[in-house]
Amino acid sequence: MKRIIRVLLSVLLCTLLLTGCGQSDAWNPLKSDKELNIAVLGSSTEFEERQDFLAGVDLAIAELAQEGITIKYKLFDDGGSYDNGITNAQQVATDEKFQMAFTFQSFEIVDTIATLFNDAKKPLFIIDGCYDKTMNAGYEYVFNMTISAEDAGNALGQYVIKKGYKWIAVAHSNSEYSLNFQEGFNDAVSGNGVSTIIDLVSGPNKQSEFDEVWNRWKVLGVQAVVLSFDDMDWAVELVKLIKERDPNMKILADAYFNDLSYMNDYGKYLEGMIMPSSYPVDSNEKLQRFYDENESKITYLDITSISAQGFDLIKMIASNLKEATTPKEFVESMMNEKGYDGVTKIKFKQSGKLDKTPKYWVIKNGKVWREENENAK
């Protein structure tokens, strides 16, 4: 059904483009002293959860305004509805007012609208990740701002090898994301001579299934458990069950666990959990200076490395628009092998995938810290 929707939307889009929505050298508004308009797709909940990213966007826009560069964005709230999300994306993809878009939408919506924006030759930046298949589709105008599920799993595999964990159990929800994550983990540890996946299980997906799985893990001598579950309410409950049985069991997981809303009820069980970072950031003087200089400007939340990500993306876009006269020239410039060296480092592969070496987060004292324990995220 979703494939049919994509085809129909593409046909409609092509019709609209042929009737007057074509690209021209006037596409870049910054070359004609006009404003750049960015559509931001998502739901009010997603916008609330990503205030830190949008705060960084606001800081960059304010800084660029002092240089005479005007950038604005408009939020398109889909209410968390798949149909509304597609409708909003269709509107933005065919509206010449918007030169590009950011999306915080679900993986399912993003997988559909990526085709829309690519066909419209309108750059789309995926902020909160997507299915690996979306970025493997060969799109020219789609960028992912987080590392892929497979790369995240691979990074965690390298971590358990480095730490010398010998017997590993992997439990996942059998979703597309968790399977990609598990595949990456398996690729990293297969034949390494240190770590072995001694048990691979889809689930447990409810408490009644847990005891059987746990008893098997104890017999097998499991030293570390790797988790990848889409249902976070159950995932944190599963961590609780494991820690109640063995407080010393090492638990590693995907980046979904980077959710501070669970800390009040589950903080003591999540303590010490290791995750690969979805957006790896180096701890350095530039990042600390960014925190120090902007704490007083953004008073409604804590400035984080995600804020730096939003800040750098806007600055990178502005930098690469200096010479581009068409969307094609712009995306080619964004994929420059040098990337953009701002507060953080943003570099894209030719596929639009984020080109960064994964780092690790650890949950400690109710906060998420970089594993090298320098600063909270």
Last residue of a domain, one of 241, 276, 311: 276
CA gap 374, 325 in Å, rounded? 42
Give the per-residue pLDDT at 129: 94
> Is residue 351 in some structural domain?
no
Residue 160 and residue 272 share a domain: yes
Domain that holds residue 30: 2-13+23-147+284-346
Listed in sequence order, the residues at least 6 apart from 98 whose beta carbon sits closer than 8 Å to its beta carbon are 37, 38, 39, 74, 92, 122
Beta-bridge partners for 274: 252, 362
Tens digit of each residue's pLDDT (9 = 90 or more) over 298-352: 877 778 889 999 999 999 999 999 889 999 999 999 999 899 999 999 999 999 9
The predicted model scores a pTM of 0.88
**Total structural domains within the chain:** 2
Residue 6 and residue 95 share a domain: yes
Residue 303 and residue 334 share a domain: yes
Residue 159 and residue 86 share a domain: no
Give the per-residue pLDDT at 27: 80
> Is residue 120 in some structural domain?
yes
Residue 331 and residue 209 share a domain: no
Residue 189 and residue 78 share a domain: no
Residue 9 and residue 137 share a domain: yes
Last residue of a domain, one of 276, 293, 326: 276
Q: What is the pLDDT along the chain (377 residues), one digit of tens a residue?
A: 555 555 455 545 444 444 444 444 468 888 777 899 999 999 999 999 999 999 999 999 999 999 999 999 999 999 999 999 999 999 999 999 999 999 999 999 999 999 999 999 999 999 999 999 999 999 999 999 999 999 999 999 999 999 999 999 999 999 999 999 999 999 999 989 999 999 999 999 999 999 999 999 999 999 999 999 999 999 999 999 999 999 999 999 998 888 878 998 999 999 999 999 888 887 789 999 999 999 888 877 778 889 999 999 999 999 999 889 999 999 999 999 899 999 999 999 999 999 988 889 999 998 888 775 444 44
Contact 252, 181 (CB under 8 A): no
Residue 299 and residue 269 share a domain: no
Residue 177 and residue 47 share a domain: no
> Is residue 376 in some structural domain?
no
Residue 225 and residue 163 share a domain: yes
Last residue of a domain, one of 276, 303, 334: 276
Residue 292 sits in a domain of what CATH number? 3.40.50.2300
Give the per-residue pLDDT at 24: 47
| Three-state secondary structure readout of the chain | CHHHHHHHHHHHHHHHHHCCCCCCHHHCHHHHCCCEEEEEEECHHHHHHCHHHHHHHHHHHHHHHCCCCCEEEEEEECCCCHHHHHHHHHHHHCCCCCCEEEECCCHHHHHHHHHHHHHHCCCEEECCCCCHHHHCCCCCCEEECCCCHHHHHHHHHHHHHHHCCCEEEEEECCCHHHHHHHHHHHHHHCCCCCCEEEEEEECCCCHHHHHHHHHHHHHHCCCEEEEECCCHHHHHHHHHHHHHHCCCCEEEECHHHCCHHHHHHHHHHHCCCEEECCCCCCCCHHHHHHHHHHCCCCCCCCCCHHHHHHHHHHHHHHHHCCCCCCHHHHHHHHCCCCCEECCCEECECCCCCECCCCCEEEEECCEEEECCCCCEC
> Is residue 364 in some structural domain?
no
Residue 121 and residue 58 share a domain: yes
Residue 259 and residue 154 share a domain: yes
Give the per-residue pLDDT at 2: 53
